[in-house]
Amino acid sequence: MTTTATDLEKAMAFDEAARVAHELRVKQDQRNRRARYLKHLFLILVSVVMLYPLFWLVASSLKPETQIFGSLSLWPEEFHFDNYTRGWNALPISFTVFYMNSAIVTLLSVVGNLISCSFAAYAFARLQFTGRTIWFALMMMTLMIPYHVVLIPQYVQFLKLGWVDTYLPLVVPKFLASDAFFIFLMVQFFRQLPRELDEAAMIDGCSPFKIYWAIILPLSLPAMGTAAIFSLIWVWEDFLAPLIYLNDIKSYTVPLALRLFLDQEGESAYGQMFAMSVLSLVPVVIFFVAFQKLIVRGIATSGMK
């Protein structure tokens, strides 16, 4: 009897608990949903602020020259697409050529950056050798020096090598890990990976290269993806190095070509410049959307560990 009573009590208590749990869950669901809506609302608001300038840029690129500065309205009175058609061929060389040039420089640079910087980062993050701290400090120093004062000595150096007016000064340094930003970025990510992985692999007789290639790189896809995106965007948009090292207009890259539209002191083609600026963003955005998957894929890998 007593047992049944306690059983009943137990059962009742269980039911009660289930009911309370259910209520809680419903409440939590509601709260979660509300939180999600709030979150979306916030994100959409931020998005509007983020997108406004892009709208403005696109709108300006569709206005005739005479209306860009006079009127404040965002919406063009009429749509002028000839900023795009005329802008593409406004310079002595067509933008087709500039895009090809930029594509070559950017592709080579990204590849160079990823290979050489991940090499250096692997050494700094995972390997023991004498002088590591000093080299690391020197590497950080190259990040800190204001680049305008090394511009001229660098130019003289490349001039002596006979590299001025070729793409070599833009590309070769990338294969020699010149951008310490990426090394440091990768170092931070590599160091987080569990050391037992290397040790186990070492015991299995793996060479350092094998460890780098088969363990470190696959586990660092989010970092490599981030580095690829940054490196592509920065090289694509870089204009200082092309400005200094490229003389022949046929070899100009897109950002350099955009600078040809503006003459602060005289005639400028603002509408066409805006139109070409908008177009110059397209490849970067496409690459960004494609490559951010790599960051997302990081979930699976980190789940494994």
Map the footprint of other proteins across residues 119-178, applying CB under 8 A: 119-120, 122-124, 127-130, 132, 135, 138-146, 148-157, 159, 164-168, 171-173, 175-178
Per the CB < 8 A criterion, the answer to whether 127 and 208 are in contact is yes
Alpha carbon distance 184, 282 (integer Å)? 29
Per the CB < 8 A criterion, the answer to whether 275 and 83 are in contact is yes
Looking up tokens 């800190």 gives 144
**What track of x and - describes contact with other proteins for positions 85 through 114 (by CB under 8 A)?**
-----xxx-----------x--xx--x---
Which one, 1 or 203, has the nearer CB to other proteins? 203
Alpha carbon distance 216, 189 (integer Å)? 10
Which one, 12 or 239, has the nearer CB to other proteins? 239
Candidates 65, 206, 213, 217; binder of other proteins (CB under 8 A) is 65
Looking up tokens 């940054």 gives 230
> Residue 139 half-sphere exposure, CB side, CA atoms within 13 Å?
22
Residue 205 within binding range of other proteins, rule CB under 8 A: no
Which one, 70 or 205, has the nearer CB to other proteins? 70
> Which of the ranges 4-12, 21-29, 44-52, 75-83 carries the binding residues for other proteins, by CB under 8 A?
44-52
**What track of x and - describes contact with other proteins for positions 269 through 298 (by CB under 8 A)?**
xx-xxx--x---x--xx--xx--x--xx-x
Alpha carbon distance 112, 183 (integer Å)? 12
* Smallest distance, other proteins to C-beta of residue 5, A: 32
Residue 59 within binding range of other proteins, rule CB under 8 A: no
Which one, 12 or 52, has the nearer CB to other proteins? 52
> Which of the ranges 8-16, 17-25, 77-85, 251-259 carries the binding residues for other proteins, by CB under 8 A?
251-259
Alpha carbon distance 40, 275 (integer Å)? 32
Give, in order, the Cα–Cα distances in Å from 247 to each of 158, 286, 304. Answer: 14, 30, 51
Looking up tokens 């092309």 gives 242
Q: What angle do CA 69, 74, 78 make, to 5 degrees?
A: 85
Alpha carbon distance 20, 24 (integer Å)? 6
Which one, 4 or 153, has the nearer CB to other proteins? 153
Which one, 1 or 303, has the nearer CB to other proteins? 303
Which one, 76 or 208, has the nearer CB to other proteins? 208
The tokens describing 64, both together, are 């005739």
Residues 6+ apart with CB under 8 A from 146: none
Residue 41 within binding range of other proteins, rule CB under 8 A: no
- In the window 6-35, what residues touch other proteins (CB under 8 A)? none
Which one, 19 or 40, has the nearer CB to other proteins? 40
* Smallest distance, other proteins to C-beta of residue 115, A: 8
* Smallest distance, other proteins to C-beta of residue 14, A: 20
Total site size for other proteins, rule CB under 8 A: 133
Residue 46 within binding range of other proteins, rule CB under 8 A: yes
Alpha carbon distance 181, 205 (integer Å)? 32
> Residue 7 half-sphere exposure, CB side, CA atoms within 13 Å?
4
